[in-house]
Amino acid sequence: MNFDLTEDQQAIRDTFARFADARIAPQAAALDEARAYPLELFRELAALGFFGMRYPEEVGGSGLGLTEFCLALQEIARGSMSLAGAVAMQSLMGTKFLHMLGNADIVERLFKPALAGEKIGAICMTEPNAGSDLDGIATSARKVDGGYVLNGQKTWITSAPVADFFTVFARAGEQKKLTIFLVEKHFKGLVVGREIHKMGVWALPTSEVAFDECFVPDGHRLSHEEGDGEGHLKKTLAEIRILTGAMALGVARAALDEAVRYAGERKQFGKPINRFQAIQMKLAEMATGLEAAEHLVYYAAWLNGAARPHHKEAAMAKLFATETAASICDQAARVLASYGYAMEYPVQRYLRDVRFTLIGGGTSEILKLIIAKEVSS
């Protein structure tokens, strides 16, 4: 990344780069194979202040911007995509609505402990028949004396098996509009269902979650008004897309670094394979794609920090960064040839994990539709 960073931004990137090299990367393969939630590293990142980077100092955060957050997250993803997914969930989707909309009790009892890594949060949006189509969300919230009763089925819920609380989108009121609720794990009627086994990010558990006549007190309706959930969510989607792009940058960097290292060591026909033009062209294309993706992601992050419109730019950044990262991981596997297919080398993990970024925050196809609408209007 060749564009200028401030001294503080450089220090943040260096801090998390050192942490990734010293603490994350050496454990990444073992965590993956054990399929174990990276709780120890999760708490170490909490101690570094990662979860509070985007939140104001008065609630225990450090009041930094999206650029600083993405610099840190990119380095974490370079070490482990599973860990990056876990801490990204905690830092934004799992806690943002508690900070924005929660009452004093929720902030003190759940939000602040979450910033300290003592509580784990998750968000429940996706349903069996509702992914990109928010209008398809069918989970209902029926008003009763003292609260609401939730019924419905959610799926692909990141961190669900270890979560202490869930931010839930359900339909409430006469017009059945999306409303945001907070459900704690001990609430009767909350059922964390079967775990979904995935091709990648093995250390990041994902499960189905059901609500069966689940009572939620009035104070746990995060929405200030019934039906304001979609508006709050749309304001957050751009951030989700930008940080997903940053995670893609991290795994792409790891794949490129491994391909460069291997190509310098592997010899064929009496010389290192990085002396052959076929390999040189692959490395050049990978490096160029990564550089371009970084500029898109951090431009979108800068627009966010400057409070300028960035709906289109966030979609572009996420689209280009994730597709480019997927290509870089594939090309890295080709540079390693048979060893790119071997479990003892990390490239196979990068190749599996990078697909995680293609899905979260909107598929490439949905993003293209968003971008096309923006440029056509």
pLDDT tens figures, 188-207: 999 999 999 999 999 999 99
Name the token pair of 295: 């500029």
DSSP characters for 36-83? ---HHHHHHHHHTTGGGTTS-GGGT-----HHHHHHHHHHHHHH-HHH
CA–CA separation, 348 vs 59, rounded Å?
Answer: 41
Nearest to 51 by CA among 61, 41, 36: 61
- State the pTM of this model: 0.95
Res 134: pLDDT: 84
Categorize the per-residue pLDDT at 377 as very low, low, confident or very high, splitting at 50, 70 and 90. Answer: confident
Residue labelled with tokens 């996706």: 126
Res 2: pLDDT: 52
Res 131: pLDDT: 83
Name the token pair of 125: 């949006």
Rounded to an integer, the average pLDDT of 212-232 is 95
CA–CA separation, 374 vs 76, rounded Å?
Answer: 32
Categorize the per-residue pLDDT at 282 as very low, low, confident or very high, splitting at 50, 70 and 90. Answer: very high
Categorize the per-residue pLDDT at 171 as very low, low, confident or very high, splitting at 50, 70 and 90. Answer: very high
* Contacts by residues 303-308 (CB-CB < 8 Å, ≥ 24 positions apart): 304/65, 304/66, 304/238, 304/239, 304/242, 305/65, 305/66, 305/67
Res 1: pLDDT: 55
Categorize the per-residue pLDDT at 3 as very low, low, confident or very high, splitting at 50, 70 and 90. Answer: low
Res 234: pLDDT: 85
Rounded to an integer, the average pLDDT of 34-38 is 94
Q: What is the pLDDT of residues 48-102, one digit of tens each?
A: 999 999 999 999 999 999 999 999 999 999 999 999 999 999 999 999 999 999 9
